[in-house]
Amino acid sequence: MERDMQLNGLYTKLLLEKVTARNVSHQGLLNQANPATPTDDVWPPLTGLWLTRPGKEEAEERKRRRRGWQLSSKPPRQRDEAVGKRELRARTGREPAAAQQACDFVMGEYHIRTYEDQDYEAVRTIFSHGIVEHAPAGCWHVLRCPQTHLLLSAVFLVVYAISASLLFSCGAVAFLLVAGWVRMKGIWAEYVDDALANDMRDIRKTYLEARDSCFWVVTSGEEVVGMVAAVQPEDPSERGTALELKRMSVAKQHRGRGLSKALTRTVIRFAQERGYKEVVLGTSMVQLAAQRVYEGMGFRKVKAKNPSLLAKLLQFYVYYYRYEIAGSR
């Protein structure tokens, strides 16, 4: 028994020496490849005879360090703003506050600037396409409503009771579905037409000449690919303390590149520089991507409202969000 314990101890000692030597050798190679890369946490400490497996976040961070990336200690939001300010200063030769009218944010091939008159047709087109594309999602929501199921079932039974024909009954249901789809597209088109005939008809007057309002576009080269606006809220109780984010839209082929977040940060910065405490906005329940962007940036959903009696019947809501600006008084 005593001899077995001695052999086990010797085996354990040899195994520890072998693992330690391998770690030292690996760290030496890392130091030669990238002397600036810290090596004290390349491998986790030994626990008994086993190496603890790094978590996903630690593994990603170590991959970045091995590639020679210098990670900033600032949070991602502050880091993005700092990078934007440096690029803006290099591009314009002025401080961000002085260069805001020329170019508000630079991000790779894209940059955000204040709206100009030659952008008129482009922003109206982007806005129209961005709204109308939500019609299928709105129609799908209506189809899932219990009220819709009840209506279709009732129509089917009534027509069958009158005609005693399954063909006529199914035809009546199909007719209702087609009519509902046409009506749903019409609702979204009416919303677009109303906006184009009001605030989007004279963008300069509505958003650039009004107090504490602005309109920005995202450009890629000479092409306008996105937009957003800041304006006084429609709710009188919020005026003086909050600005409203409106008309956010990014061309479909340019999505997934952080443009929506950059535009949202532009509005938040604009409100903060003018002493406002909050940024508010409204978005429909079917605009799921927009909701994820806002919630990921710290916006809180504060209420849900039906825009009309028909929307109330079909349980269609507009969600209202609020962002509290840090350090505001």
pLDDT tens digit sequence for 281-293: 999 999 999 999 9
Identify the three-state secondary structure at position 273: helix
Tell me, what's the pLDDT at 17?
Answer: 64
Q: Which two tokens stand for residue 202?
A: 């004279």
Contact 245, 267 (CB under 8 A): yes
Statement: residue 42 has pLDDT above 50: no
The band of 61, judged by pLDDT with boundaries at 50, 70 and 90, is low
Report, as an integer, the average pLDDT of 300-313: 86
φ and ψ at 240, to 5 degrees? 95, -25
Q: What is the DSSP code (8-state) at residue 156?
A: H
Report, as an integer, the average pLDDT of 217-241: 90
Tell me, what's the pLDDT at 261?
Answer: 92
Helical pair 166-197 and 146-163, crossing angle rounded to 10 deg: 140
Statement: residue 110 has pLDDT above 60: yes
Integer Cα distance of 134 and 143 in angstroms: 15
DSSP string covering 85-139: HHHHHHHHSS-HHHHTTT-SEEETTEEEEE--GGGHHHHHHHHHHHHHTTHHHHH
Choice among 50-64, 216-230, 255-269 with the minimum mean pLDDT: 50-64
Q: What percent of the chain has pLDDT over 70?
A: 66
Tell me, what's the pLDDT at 298?
Answer: 92
Identify the three-state secondary structure at position 177: helix
φ and ψ at 104, to 5 degrees? -90, -30
pTM assigned to the model: 0.64
Tell me, what's the pLDDT at 22?
Answer: 53
Mean pLDDT across the chain, nearest whole number?
76
Total count of residues recorded for the chain: 329
Report, as an integer, the average pLDDT of 295-313: 88
Strand order in 300-305's β-sheet?
105-107, 110-114, 214-220, 223-231, 242-250, 278-284, 318-324, 300-305
Report, as an integer, the average pLDDT of 25-34: 45
90 versus 198: which is more confidently predicted?
198
Statement: residue 73 has pLDDT above 50: no
257 versus 10: which is more confidently predicted?
257
Tell me, what's the pLDDT at 90?
Answer: 52
The band of 188, judged by pLDDT with boundaries at 50, 70 and 90, is confident
Tell me, what's the pLDDT at 77?
Answer: 41
Helical pair 259-273 and 76-92, crossing angle rounded to 10 deg: 80
Integer Cα distance of 282 and 101 in angstroms: 26
Statement: residue 186 has pLDDT above 70: yes
Integer Cα distance of 181 and 143 in angstroms: 10
Statement: residue 328 has pLDDT above 50: yes
Q: How many CA atoms lie within 13 A of 266 on its CB side?
A: 32
Tell me, what's the pLDDT at 278?
Answer: 93
Tell me, what's the pLDDT at 308?
Answer: 82
Helical pair 120-132 and 166-197, crossing angle rounded to 10 deg: 150
Statement: residue 254 has pLDDT above 70: yes
The band of 196, judged by pLDDT with boundaries at 50, 70 and 90, is very high
Contact 91, 103 (CB under 8 A): yes
Report, as an integer, the average pLDDT of 14-18: 60
Burial class (CB in 10 A: 0-12, 13-18, 19+), 230: buried
Integer Cα distance of 106 and 88 in angstroms: 6
Q: What is the pLDDT of residues 137-178, one digit of tens each?
A: 888 888 888 888 888 899 899 988 998 888 989 999 999 889
